[in-house]
């Protein structure tokens, strides 16, 4: 079976305990993850052969990050180790009316200073049927953007399916390029894209008013990016830091399919839920699920991620399927 390949930075995450502000914390929880790597980790758990391509620092934190990928079942053959530092982000957990907060410390990481020539994408992708990238990678540095473009170019030549989670993060675009300078070309080579109206507005320049519906947005997006086969996104209503409602929508070129709504209260961790959603889309399409089944599986994956601390969805495909059918929810399993 041909496999799935993702490309992007792996970060060290340091987070405060639930209810604690950083100024109260005497210890921080350690996790490793990254948008694209989280997708590969979920797919590996679901028996999709998955590889992640990245650059890590040639020291203890880099090796620990690599071991986290290996533990998740991800192939790390094409991980490169260079001198430098690991990118870090700090997560202060929210509570009730206090919102969670992320602080990045990732500039000049080993990944941001990679050499695009170090990656032989023809070799890396020779046994792949799917390549995945996110909008975070081209935001990090020109070198990362160039490597991402090179990978997409080769994937197209090899007729490999390409997916993207646009993931617009304004705070990350700190070098001399803007999203509009880079993102439209990369999106134009992708067939499966996850993104919100805000993502598409900032990364494509398409005129999408703030009150645009998903249907309206999909119709406008496809006029500019006619190669797109699927567009998906999640809807999230935040009642407070501990109570969210989420649902999903998927456009397949003909109509929009909507998932059920999950009401999530007192959940463990929202970080990585979008990556779990992306993994659910990929897994479903690889397994020839219908559009209705695909959006239900993807949204259930995102909902389950909220119950798990850390960046990665630690749930089997069977557990996700059970949730889509509303069986065994909250029951003692024995």
Asked if residue 332 is part of any domain, the answer here is no
Domain count, the chain: 1
Structural domain span for residue 308: 3-324
Q: The domain that contains 104 carries what CATH number? A: 3.40.1190.20
Asked if residue 334 is part of any domain, the answer here is no
What per-residue string of b and e applies to 274-304 under the rule 16 or more CB within 10 Å gives b? bbbbbbbbbbbbbeebebeebbbbbbbbbbb
pLDDT computed for residue 331 by the predictor: 55
Report d(CA 214, CA 88) in Å as an integer.
33
pLDDT computed for residue 332 by the predictor: 42
Is the pTM higher than 0.85? yes
pLDDT computed for residue 327 by the predictor: 53
Query: Helices in the chain by DSSP H: which ranges?
Result: 35-45, 60-71, 121-124, 136-140, 142-157, 179-187, 197-204, 214-224, 273-286, 291-305, 317-324
Asked if residue 309 is part of any domain, the answer here is yes
Asked if residue 331 is part of any domain, the answer here is no
pLDDT computed for residue 302 by the predictor: 98
CA distances from 297 to 80, 174, 280, 287, 321 (A): 33, 36, 6, 11, 7
Asked if residue 206 is part of any domain, the answer here is yes
pLDDT computed for residue 212 by the predictor: 79
Asked if residue 177 is part of any domain, the answer here is yes
Asked if residue 329 is part of any domain, the answer here is no
Asked if residue 101 is part of any domain, the answer here is yes
Per-residue pLDDT of the chain (334 residues; tens, 9 = 90+): 579 999 999 999 999 988 889 999 999 999 999 999 999 999 999 999 999 999 999 999 999 999 999 999 999 999 999 999 999 999 998 888 999 999 999 999 999 999 999 999 999 999 999 999 999 999 999 999 999 999 999 999 999 999 999 999 888 999 999 999 999 999 999 999 999 888 999 998 888 887 778 888 888 898 899 999 999 999 999 999 899 999 999 999 889 999 999 999 999 999 999 999 999 999 999 999 999 999 999 999 999 999 999 999 999 999 999 999 975 565 545 4
């Amino acid at each position: 079976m041909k496999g799935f390949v993702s490309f992007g930075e792996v970060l060290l995450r340091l987070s405060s305990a639930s209810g604690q502000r950083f100024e109260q914390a005497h210890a921080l929880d350690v996790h490793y993850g990254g948008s694209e790597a989280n997708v590969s980790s979920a797919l590996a758990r679901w028996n999709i052969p998955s590889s992640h391509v990245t650059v890590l620092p040639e020291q203890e934190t880099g090796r620990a990050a690599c071991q986290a990928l290996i533990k998740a079942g991800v192939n790390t053959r094409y991980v490169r180790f260079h001198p430098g530092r690991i990118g870090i982000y700090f997560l202060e957990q929210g509570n009730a009316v206090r919102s969670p907060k992320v602080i990045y410390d990732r500039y000049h990481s080993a990944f941001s200073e990679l050499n695009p020539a170090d990656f032989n994408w023809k070799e890396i992708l020779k046994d792949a049927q799917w390549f995945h990238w996110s909008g975070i990678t081209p935001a990090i540095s020109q070198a990362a953007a160039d490597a991402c473009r090179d990978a997409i170019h080769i994937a197209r030549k090899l007729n490999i399916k390409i997916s993207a989670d646009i993931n617009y993060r304004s705070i990350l675009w700190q070098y001399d390029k803007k999203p509009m300078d880079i993102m439209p070309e990369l999106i134009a080579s992708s067939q499966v894209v996850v993104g919100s109206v805000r993502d598409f507005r900032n990364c494509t320049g398409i005129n999408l008013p703030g009150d645009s519906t998903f249907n309206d947005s999909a119709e406008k997006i496809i006029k500019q990016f006619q190669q797109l086969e699927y567009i998906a996104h999640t809807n999230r209503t935040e009642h407070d830091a501990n109570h969210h409602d989420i649902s999903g929508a998927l456009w397949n070129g003909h109509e929009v399919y909507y998932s059920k709504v999950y009401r999530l209260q007192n959940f463990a961790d929202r970080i990585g839920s979008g990556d779990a959603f992306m993994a659910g889309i990929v897994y479903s399409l690889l397994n020839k699920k219908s559009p209705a089944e695909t959006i239900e599986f993807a949204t259930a994956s995102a909902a389950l991620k909220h119950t798990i601390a850390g960046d990665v969805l630690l749930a089997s495909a069977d557990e996700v399927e059970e949730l889509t059918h509303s069986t065994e929810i909250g029951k003692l399993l024995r």
